[in-house]
């Protein structure tokens, strides 16, 4: 059983890895990063709470749901430094614009953004923004945001464990291969939070969709570049975040 100090250390490490919050815990090739991956959903909860708080403040100030939803998304992106959005854009550019494996990896490392990346970001933002805007009620939005950010990161340790890195360096290779226990704890945290936010039936549907998204991304990344990278992890996070928000919006509409 992990000690309280170990839990705090892992959470600090996950925060440094997943957000712009500097805890001083992440330094270069940290061998503890894979073990600490169980805490990625906790980092996601903090990001979701930040977005929910921004939405609540905007709502209380009389801002309509549409711009309030945009403000909430802006708060989450500010906290993460658009880390996952950058991964989505790079992955879309690499997979869509490259011909060979080497060229795809080269494009994904290029800081410039291309047409595929721009389009992927527009679609991602539009889907997340519209899903939040349709819910409107602050409590619904808060539950959806927290669940989405927790679940989207809960799948990452299992994905990192099952899909090998596509190259020997980079963010994903640096993180290492999470142990089975870390992947299992992260998944359990995600399932619990989904159950609280969405209810049992919607949670089951969300889990199936998330599993399918993970399997598809594993197949696609292996086919395209021979494995996963930090950019692929970012793209998967975005896809899973979208899935949970759309499920939450459907639940909210069904109960309206």
Residue 61 lies in a domain: yes
Say how far apart CA 228 and CA 166 lie, in whole Å: 5
Evaluate if residue 57 carries a pLDDT over 90: yes
Say how far apart CA 10 and CA 134 lie, in whole Å: 36
* Cβ proximity of 191 and 207 under 8 Å: yes
Residue 37 lies in a domain: no
Q: Name every residue whose Cβ is closer than 8 Å to that of residue 242 and which is 6 or more positions away in sequence.
A: 124, 127, 128, 131
Say how far apart CA 93 and CA 112 lie, in whole Å: 10
Evaluate if residue 235 carries a pLDDT over 50: yes
Residue 63 structural domain: 45-254
Q: With bands split at pLDDT 50, 70 and 90, how would you rate the model's confidence at 10?
A: confident
Residue 123 lies in a domain: yes
pTM value? Answer: 0.93
Q: Name the CA dihedral angle for 120, 16, 132, 183, rounded to a multiple of 10 degrees.
A: 80
Residue 250 lies in a domain: yes
Which helix (DSSP H) or strand (DSSP E) does residue 166 occupy? none
Residue 13 lies in a domain: no
Residue 15 lies in a domain: no
Residue 21 lies in a domain: no
pLDDT tens, residue by residue, 81-127: 999 999 999 999 999 998 899 999 999 998 899 999 999 999 999 99
Residue 4 lies in a domain: no
Say how far apart CA 136 and CA 146 lie, in whole Å: 15
Q: Name the CA dihedral angle for 217, 193, 143, 146, rounded to a multiple of 10 degrees.
A: -60
The count of domains in the chain is: 1
Q: Which backbone phi and psi does 19 adopt, to 5 degrees? A: -135, 180
């Amino acid at each position: 059983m992990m000690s309280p100090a170990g839990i705090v250390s892992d959470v600090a490490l996950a925060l440094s890895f997943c957000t712009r919050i500097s805890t001083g815990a992440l330094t270069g090739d940290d061998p503890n990063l894979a073990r600490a991956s169980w805490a990625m959903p906790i980092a996601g909860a903090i990001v979701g709470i930040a977005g929910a708080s921004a939405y609540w403040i905007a709502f209380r100030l009389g801002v309509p749901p549409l711009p309030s939803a945009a403000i909430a998304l802006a708060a989450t992106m500010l906290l993460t430094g658009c880390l996952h959005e950058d991964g989505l854009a790079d992955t879309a550019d690499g997979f869509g614009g490259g011909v060979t494996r080497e060229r795809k990896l080269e494009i994904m490392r290029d800081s410039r953004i291309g047409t595929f990346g721009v389009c992927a970001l527009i679609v991602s933002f539009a889907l997340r923004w519209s899903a939040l805007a349709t819910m409107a009620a602050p409590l619904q939005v808060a539950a959806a945001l927290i669940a989405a950010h927790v679940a989207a990161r809960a799948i990452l340790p299992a994905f990192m464990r099952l899909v090998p890195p596509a190259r020997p360096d980079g963010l994903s290779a640096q993180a290492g291969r999470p142990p089975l226990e870390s992947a299992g704890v992260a998944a359990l945290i995600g399932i619990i939070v989904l159950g609280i936010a969405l209810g049992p039936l919607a949670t089951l549907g969300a889990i199936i969709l998330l599993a399918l998204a993970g399997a598809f991304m594993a197949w696609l990344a292996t086919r395209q570049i021979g494995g996963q990278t930090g950019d692929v992890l970012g793209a998967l996070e975005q896809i899973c975040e979208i899935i949970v928000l759309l499920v939450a919006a459907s639940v909210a509409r069904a109960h309206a």
